[in-house]
Chains A and B, each alone.
Chain A
Amino acid sequence: MAAIAGLGFSAISRREIGTPRDLAIDAIIASVADCGLKLTDLDGLLVTCTPAAPPNTVPLRLSDDLGLGDLTLTGNIQVEGASVVAALQHASLCIRHGMAKVVACVFADAPLRPGQERGSAAYNRAMPLSGLGLWDAEHGLFGAAGAYALAASRYLHVHSLPDDAFGPYAVACRRWAADNPQAMLRTPIDLADYRDSPLVAAPFRVLDCAYPVNGAIAIVVTGCDRAAGLLRPPVYLHAFAQCHPGSGNMSGLEPELDSGARVAAQGLWRATGLGPAQVEMAQFYDPFSYVPLLALEEYGLCPPGEATRFVADGHTAPGGTLPVNTGGGHLSGFYLQGMTPVAEAVIQARGHGGARQSARNNVILVTGAGGRLDYHASMLVSPHAEI
């Protein structure tokens, strides 16, 4: 088993604050300093970035930038929104097998430029859904919001839910964000605010959608013994699982209700002997409000079709039985893809959440999801070596 020892942030902003490469450097320096190591202690570097970025946006040459040498592990891990969890899995396995001792995993993104500050402008690429090249763009399916809205509409239809069923999730996330100094959107909202927010790609409103930022986050992974002797409490990486169902656009398949999360969940339970009842907290990849609701159901944390009610009853909000996305998640915190839930899991597992810290942090589920639910990765982390 390996453990997370360091967590580092670059500046995070809606303004132009540097290239992803520069931001990645800042985050790696911060992550190493966070745990009391030096850059020269690193013998592994794994880079991740959004699939929307041009090649080499976060290059392997970061190792040269940082003056690293003789790395025994490097690579660019690209599983879209599942990349960060996948990178941590790769680092953990390599450490376990003696291929590296101290690995930095970094994600950096800078989608917001002057004149392109809105999420709809920053992420307006056509999302391939039909499998026919430019077909989806020709028909107007631009932005991830549209592709995910299609899935969300299916979820609402199958479960006979109203169009505003996702509102309580957005409200709960904002409540968490209010106590997170790093969250971008902290002003309290209620369901009336949700219903008044503009429609973007119905059923999604603005408040259903992630809040993009420019920034980077890095994680330092090392062996458990070494992590225990560093500055911060170790966050133990107990299990990883992945499932990538790919396109399911065929009669009889319901990829909008049955993503790779269901299979990944079984992998986590097999690896640990735990089950949904032992999960105390979840940090979900939540670029749109519907995604974590589906995850709640697929991981067995509530019955199928009951997630919106589960959230509306307050279970995932501050003081609830299953704290979810305690930093505000992608909707109210910030959208740094797979690093947003991972970073919050580290903060909560360490007990460093300040006003938003939850005592229910002994077993934390963390997910990453990419494509339009085509790729999924997850992990169980804990402040305890034994769970």
Chain B
Amino acid sequence: MSERDTEFHRRFEGFRARGELRYPSCPECGTILRYAQRLCPAHPLAEPQFLLASGRAKVHSAVDYHTSYTQDLPAPYRLGLIELEEGPRLLGILLSGDGAPIQVGGRVRVGFDEAGRLVAWPAEAGDDRAEA
């Protein structure tokens, strides 16, 4: 890891430890960055700032695991690439609301579970700011 990478993770994880999901953006031009980015190419010397995510999101894609790889996550489990309403996407665990799996394109709310993992559950009716 580069020093820039280490610092990016340190700051992101610090917010995560407080239960805050944040996303990176450029402090100079406000461009929202992908989580894989470590800088804004237009302002490469500006350290990214982390903004608080609203928690509203939608499911970009999903996978159902039928093989267990860790004891912490016995199969079957469902993961999704979750698109925050602010733009960036990152992986999360899809929880079933009423038992039906959350579908691709579905609106969700996101937060952290006790293990600090991002989980998503179906958005309640009327919470329509994150459009599928």
> Which A residues have a C-beta under 8 Å from some C-beta of B?
120, 124, 129-133, 135-136, 138-143, 146, 149-151, 153-154, 156-157, 198-203, 246-252, 256
B65 proximity list for chain A (CB < 8 A) = 140, 142, 146, 201
Chain A residues, Cβ within 8 Å of B64: 199, 201-202
- Contacts A131-B35, A252-B87 supplied; 9 other A-B pairs, CB < 8 Å: A133-B1, A135-B90, A140-B69, A141-B91, A146-B79, A153-B61, A247-B34, A249-B35, A251-B89
Number of interface residues of B (CB under 8 A): 40
Closest partner residue, chain A, to B88 (CB atom) = A250
Contacts of B9 in A (CB 8 A): 132-133
With contact pairs A139-B118, A250-B87, A256-B61 given, residues A132 and B35 touching in the complex (Cβ less than 8 Å): yes
How distant is the Cα of A201 from the Cα of B36 in the complex, in angstroms?
Answer: 24
Compute the total of residue contacts between A and B using a CB distance below 8 Å.
111
Contact A154 to B60, CB < 8 A, known contacts A250-B88, A251-B87: yes
The answer to whether B63 touches A153 (Cβ under 8 A) is yes
10 cross-chain CB contacts under 8 A = A132-B90, A140-B69, A140-B79, A153-B61, A154-B81, A157-B105, A249-B34, A249-B35, A250-B88, A256-B61
Ranked nearest first, the 10 interchain pairs of A and B with the lowest CB-CB distance are: A131-B36, A249-B89, A202-B64, A142-B69, A154-B61, A149-B63, A157-B104, A251-B87, A130-B90, A247-B36
Query: B36 to A249, Cβ gap below 8 A?
Result: yes
Docked CA distance A149–B62 (Å): 8
B69, A124: Cβ atoms closer than 8 Å = yes
Interface residues of B in 79-132 (CB under 8 A from A): 79-81, 83, 87-93, 103-105, 115-118
Given A132-B12, A136-B91, A250-B87, A199 contacting B66 (CB threshold 8 A)? yes
When C-beta atoms are compared, the residue in chain B nearest to A251 turns out to be: B87
Q: How far is the CA of A252 from the CA of B104 in the complex (A)?
A: 15
- Which of A120, A149, A200, A249 is the one whose CB lies under 8 Å from B88? A249
CA distance A92 to B65 in the complex (A): 42
Cβ contacts under 8 Å, B61 to chain A = 150-151, 153-154, 157, 256
A202 touches B91 (CB 8 A): no
B67 and A131 within 8 A (CB): no
Which of A120, A138, A251 is B117 in contact with, Cβ under 8 Å?
A: A138
Inter-chain contacts of A249 with B (CB < 8 A):
34-36, 81, 88-90
Contacts of A135 on B, CB cut-off 8 Å? Answer: 90-91
Tell me the bound Cα distance from A140 to B72 in angstroms: 9
